[in-house]
Amino acid sequence: MSEILLKEGVPEMKAYMRLYKSTGWKEPGYFGIERTREALKNCWLVVCAYSGNELIGSGRIISDGVIHALITEMFVLPEWQGKGVGRTVMRHLLKRCKEADIRKVQLFSAPGKAEFYHKLGFTGRESHSPGMDWNFDTGL
């Protein structure tokens, strides 16, 4: 495997959108280049993984910078999955949380991916206190 280089900050958007689309995620998560760029700029931390000049993975955190952090996205190009890219990105995200003494780090796991996060020290929430989503189309 070639060396993985991590960089913090907003990446080149065409490469990011290619990475995003490789996940198969659909609306309402995809908002176009300009809204996605604005979302990335407003994050507490964005980390991108590169092989040479190719963007192969990314993770991002929204946070108050003191108590709470939410890992909102963590994805890797399909051809790079299983090669340590995701683990490298996640370890960097968690290291930066530790440096800031942020102790409440949360995420939502995609179906079938929970074991990946368990290996990094995450635990599932109790069934009596599940997370919830607000439905933009029907709420209020």
Contacts of 69 (CB under 8 A, 6+ apart): 44, 61, 62, 63, 97, 102, 104, 105, 106
pLDDT-based confidence at 129, cuts 50/70/90?
confident
Q: For residue 127, tell me if it sits in a domain.
A: no
pLDDT-based confidence at 133, cuts 50/70/90?
low
Q: For residue 108, tell me if it sits in a domain.
A: yes
Q: What is the CATH number of the domain that holds 112?
A: 3.40.630.30
Q: For residue 38, tell me if it sits in a domain.
A: yes
pTM, 2 dp = 0.87
> Which secondary-structure segment (H or E) carries 99?
helix 85-99
Q: For residue 126, tell me if it sits in a domain.
A: no
Q: For residue 83, tell me if it sits in a domain.
A: yes
Q: For residue 23, tell me if it sits in a domain.
A: yes
- What is the count of structural domains for the chain? 1
pLDDT for the residue numbered 102? 93
Q: For residue 138, tell me if it sits in a domain.
A: no
104-107 and 68-76 beta bridge pairing:
parallel
Task: Give the domain range for residue 53.
Answer: 5-118
pLDDT-based confidence at 125, cuts 50/70/90?
confident
Q: For residue 125, tell me if it sits in a domain.
A: no
